[in-house]
Chain A
């Protein structure tokens, strides 16, 4: 047991820092700092920069173009990226579909799709949830009926994050109604340009367009787009979810958010003194910091044992529950730190070119909106209640 970073790890950190200093565009950094809205182009630009360096697919094995980092290196990279103000990489292709293709896809599928994720040709989105299938995901009804060399897909997916930017969607579809619901699910890759697909925005409570509904009306999908075997999709779906949830420990993101919170609390005044010196507020900040520091170790411990960059099912559930609780506590404190200046909100001010004088401190505008936006965290990737159910079933035997 040795909690100090080795010399190699320290020099790796320096290498990452110099890279971020040199390559993270100042324009994007500023937007991140002020909580501005990121565009598709911003994200594509950052992906391309990372890919050129060979650091885009941090969880991939080197044979597929990953950097072959240890869990500690990935943690350092994540921490440095967040602290420098780099955008989150878009996870749907990189961290969700790719591990499934590597484990269950055909050689042709790997050779075709993986490089396209890296070079930005494809932007993937996730076709899992349906209006009637949220926590009970296996009850999904979007159907795929075999017709010669094609499947004909009908149904509806929802909560599709950044689906309006995507050109491909991976979908869980029902190919059989025999037996248990889990036994009739298949994993299908669908080109979003295929006729019969319609994407409609869902506006979230704080006013943002982030998620969508996707309708499928007799969409023809080549049978070659099936991943693995027909009716075995539930296994692949669960494997993907462990990867999705592992990322939701959010340690680097929470670290950066906590640093920002400390700056705000030092600047905001209560009774003429910095809010950070108020005993009640200081206590809440200290508590969340202690939990986050423990979580950092929990995350590293679990990932150090994990295979291929994802924790096993129940461990990923544990990281998800605790990670989201910690993240939301920081959001809540940031909102409170602002006092009355949490109230003013301008959606236009989230745009890059907005030049008007801010109402209140220049960092205030997105804070309350972010608090509401992040209420998605204990809901997505399987609600925290679903995670407790998984832990209870697999770790406790109920």
Chain B
């Protein structure tokens, strides 16, 4: 047992952090958010060149990472810099594609930055339930068409290819009967794109008899989705951790410079004891991410419990860090101009991705009973 990052991971982390601090200042980021794409295609191409998309995939798919520790260091750096380019959609859809098999060429093109992918799984009435799929697939001869509505699809607008979950059998909430399909954009795919409150591109997607290619066999969807979401949830927790560290650093700096009653406000125990608690909780958060990342290859129950524990703690600790950061900044924390609020928004909105604090608490308990 050890917690050291190996040389490759340290290099990966340093390379990405240096690149971001040179090229991804917050004002630039705000600029990317304001474009039609809501992110920068130029940056995405640079990330591809730097090998950062490849870091999300294992070697057998042409990547050079893909392990929990790789996801951890990449997403922590993305979170520290509030990177809006579609790493998370790529990881989600890419993990599903890799696990389903048969799409090695597409994955290579994704790693090269030539094609973009997203996972269209969640639905308007599904909340956080992974097995909730109303969208249906119909088979005619050897060909499938898909109809249904997909909600809050991250990176859905820019994706050239969508990985879509649809039912080939079973009731709406059944784990059995969920299948995955590859769908290319066409007139049968209606995309309503928007930006999320924290500035990330997402879309509502309507599929009207869209042509689809089956991935990994009928009914194989649930297990593939669960593994893809395990990776993405771990990654988004690492991203949240990076954002929390950044919010904490800004807040500590502010506590040193802001003076009231003739002293830096950090001198007041009412504030500095709360930041001491934030520091302790951030150590716990880092540990939770390590526990999840280090168990992605473990047996299902262990893996999923660690992931749920991590996401639960991410929600509770994240809320503490985000709210304290705003509060300690006082009025400055409430402004658009000062960066801390943007970190707080990202941290809190991550609670709404892939299951919130309560969802994962309940899930952790249920998985414990199944153990």
What residues of chain A have their CB less than 8 Å away from a CB belonging to chain B? 1-6, 9, 72, 282-283, 286-287, 290-291, 293-298, 300-302, 304, 318, 321-322, 385, 387-389, 391-392, 395-398
26 contacts between A and B (CB under 8 A): A1-B2, A1-B5, A1-B69, A9-B1, A290-B312, A290-B364, A294-B287, A294-B291, A294-B313, A296-B287, A297-B290, A300-B3, A301-B290, A304-B2, A304-B3, A318-B280, A321-B277, A322-B280, A387-B276, A388-B276, A389-B272, A389-B273, A392-B272, A392-B273, A396-B266, A396-B276
Could you tell me if B291 and A3 are in contact, using CB atoms closer than 8 angstroms? yes
Whether, in the assembled complex, B284 has its beta carbon less than 8 Å from a beta carbon of chain A, the answer is yes
The 4 closest A-B pairs by CB, nearest first: A3-B294, A297-B287, A392-B272, A391-B276
CB neighbours (8 Å) of A6 from chain B are 1
Could you tell me if B365 and A4 are in contact, using CB atoms closer than 8 angstroms? no
CB neighbours (8 Å) of B192 from chain A are none
Could you tell me if A2 and B1 are in contact, using CB atoms closer than 8 angstroms? yes
Q: Which of A294, A296, A385, A397 contacts B273 (CB 8 A)?
A: A385
Q: Would you call the interface of chain B mostly helix, strand, loop, or mixed? A: helix
CA–CA, A344 and B3, complex, Å? 46
Output the least CB separation between A59 and chain B (Å). Answer: 19
CA–CA, A397 and B365, complex, Å? 40
Whether, in the assembled complex, B255 has its beta carbon less than 8 Å from a beta carbon of chain A, the answer is yes
CA–CA, A389 and B362, complex, Å? 36
Whether, in the assembled complex, B279 has its beta carbon less than 8 Å from a beta carbon of chain A, the answer is yes
CA–CA, A180 and B306, complex, Å? 50
CA–CA, A286 and B309, complex, Å? 9
CA–CA, A217 and B272, complex, Å? 42
Output the least CB separation between A15 and chain B (Å). Answer: 16
Could you tell me if B287 and A395 are in contact, using CB atoms closer than 8 angstroms? no
Q: How many residues of B contact A (CB 8 A)?
A: 42
CA–CA, A283 and B1, complex, Å? 30
CB neighbours (8 Å) of B287 from chain A are 294-298, 301
With most chain A CB atoms within 10 A of its CB, the pick from B286, B312, B313, B365 is B365
Could you tell me if A396 and B6 are in contact, using CB atoms closer than 8 angstroms? no
Output the least CB separation between B114 and chain A (Å). Answer: 32
Whether, in the assembled complex, B250 has its beta carbon less than 8 Å from a beta carbon of chain A, the answer is no
CA–CA, A300 and B1, complex, Å? 10
CA–CA, A282 and B362, complex, Å? 9
Whether, in the assembled complex, B102 has its beta carbon less than 8 Å from a beta carbon of chain A, the answer is no
Whether, in the assembled complex, B252 has its beta carbon less than 8 Å from a beta carbon of chain A, the answer is yes
Could you tell me if B283 and A318 are in contact, using CB atoms closer than 8 angstroms? yes
CA–CA, A397 and B256, complex, Å? 8
Whether, in the assembled complex, B175 has its beta carbon less than 8 Å from a beta carbon of chain A, the answer is no
Could you tell me if B3 and A396 are in contact, using CB atoms closer than 8 angstroms? no
Known contacts A298-B287, A398-B266; is A388 also within 8 Å of B3 by CB? no
Q: Which B residues between 259 and 305 are near A, CB-CB below 8 angstroms?
A: 264, 266-267, 269, 272-273, 275-277, 279-280, 283-288, 290-291, 293-295
With most chain A CB atoms within 10 A of its CB, the pick from B283, B288, B290 is B283
CA–CA, A322 and B277, complex, Å? 9
Could you tell me if B291 and A395 are in contact, using CB atoms closer than 8 angstroms? no
Whether, in the assembled complex, B151 has its beta carbon less than 8 Å from a beta carbon of chain A, the answer is no
B 1-28 to A, binary, CB cutoff 8 A, 1 in contact else 0: 1111110010000000000000000000
B 327-371 to A, binary, CB cutoff 8 A, 1 in contact else 0: 000000000000000000000000000000000011011001000
CB neighbours (8 Å) of B255 from chain A are 396, 398
CA–CA, A293 and B312, complex, Å? 13
Q: Which of B3, B279, B312 contacts A391 (CB 8 A)?
A: B279
Q: Which of A2, A302, A389, A397 contacts B269 (CB 8 A)?
A: A389
CA–CA, A392 and B252, complex, Å? 10
Could you tell me if A1 and B361 are in contact, using CB atoms closer than 8 angstroms? no
CB neighbours (8 Å) of A396 from chain B are 252, 255, 266, 272, 275-276, 279
CA–CA, A291 and B68, complex, Å? 21
CA–CA, A374 and B253, complex, Å? 37
CB neighbours (8 Å) of B68 from chain A are 1
Q: Output the nearest chain A residue to B266 by Cβ-Cβ distance.
A: A398
Could you tell me if A321 and B1 are in contact, using CB atoms closer than 8 angstroms? no
CB neighbours (8 Å) of B9 from chain A are 1
Q: Output the nearest chain B residue to A284 by Cβ-Cβ distance.
A: B361
Known: A1-B9, A301-B287, A392-B269. 14 other contacts (CB 8 A): A1-B4, A9-B1, A290-B313, A293-B309, A294-B288, A298-B283, A298-B286, A298-B287, A318-B279, A387-B276, A388-B272, A395-B279, A397-B256, A398-B266
Known contacts A1-B4, A6-B1, A290-B309; is A283 also within 8 Å of B284 by CB? no
CA–CA, A282 and B365, complex, Å? 7
Could you tell me if B280 and A286 are in contact, using CB atoms closer than 8 angstroms? no
CB neighbours (8 Å) of A395 from chain B are 276, 279
CB neighbours (8 Å) of A389 from chain B are 269, 272-273, 276
Q: Output the nearest chain A residue to B369 by Cβ-Cβ distance.
A: A277
Q: Which B residues between 5 and 58 are near A, CB-CB below 8 angstroms?
A: 5-6, 9
Q: Output the nearest chain B residue to A290 by Cβ-Cβ distance.
A: B309
CA–CA, A164 and B287, complex, Å? 41
Could you tell me if B284 and A298 are in contact, using CB atoms closer than 8 angstroms? yes
CB neighbours (8 Å) of B279 from chain A are 318, 391, 395-396
Q: Output the nearest chain B residue to A392 by Cβ-Cβ distance.
A: B272
CB neighbours (8 Å) of A321 from chain B are 276-277, 280
With most chain A CB atoms within 10 A of its CB, the pick from B6, B267, B275 is B275
Q: Which of B256, B267, B272, B361 contacts A286 (CB 8 A)?
A: B361
Known contacts A388-B276, A391-B279, A396-B275; is A3 also within 8 Å of B312 by CB? no
